[in-house]
Amino acid sequence: MRGGSILTGGLPDSVTVGGVQIPVETDYRLGLLTGALAEDPDLREGDRMALLLRLYCRKIPEGVDPEELTLAILDFYAMDPERKRPAQSGGKREPVYDFETDGDRIFASFRLAYGIDLTEVRMHWWKFMILLFSLPEDTPFMQAVRLRTMDLTEVQDDGLRRKLRQARGAVRIRKQRHGHEKGEDRIWQTEV
């Protein structure tokens, strides 16, 4: 973030490519759509890139490399506009949240915790994500995340472990891709 905090530096509304500052759309719905585009098995990379550019940029200045601009948009999506993100570790982890699977939980959690009706507001992507991971632990979304990340081997009581395993199964992220469940092969997995 510019200035290190949204309170002092504000929320970005542009990306920089080759020294050129390019305004981008910032509404949280585009962030949700970006994740869906990343997971669409029927999209070719070139089509995916073209869609991202069309969604985020009203006008692309002449001479700007579309691939670099796409990377800058993905860094904006990852809330890392200065590309400070460390390299991903080689191990694959199960995603702990999914905007499609958790959509109702997220909606209910924002309504309960903040009084925000996500169907009626425009909100900056970064603000949405900051609020999402600042939700109280007793909200439906955070309860699902907690179940998905809980280490059941640490639970000594067999009955409780069985109940927790059943509860985890109820909030499991299930996605279908060409007749089989997906998870590990998602392009941009969302992990905490």
The continuous run of DSSP H or E covering 120 comes out as: none
Tokens of 80: 């890392």
pTM of the model: 0.79
Q: Which residues face 14 on adjacent strands? A: 23
Question: Tens place of pLDDT for every residue, the chain, 192 residues?
Answer: 445 678 888 899 999 999 999 999 999 999 999 988 888 889 998 999 999 999 999 888 899 999 999 999 999 999 876 655 544 555 556 789 999 999 999 999 999 999 999 999 999 999 999 999 999 999 999 999 999 988 888 888 888 888 888 888 888 888 654 433 444 444 344 443
Structure token pair of residue 103: 């959509």
CB under 8 Å to 131, separation ≥6 — which residues? 110, 114, 116
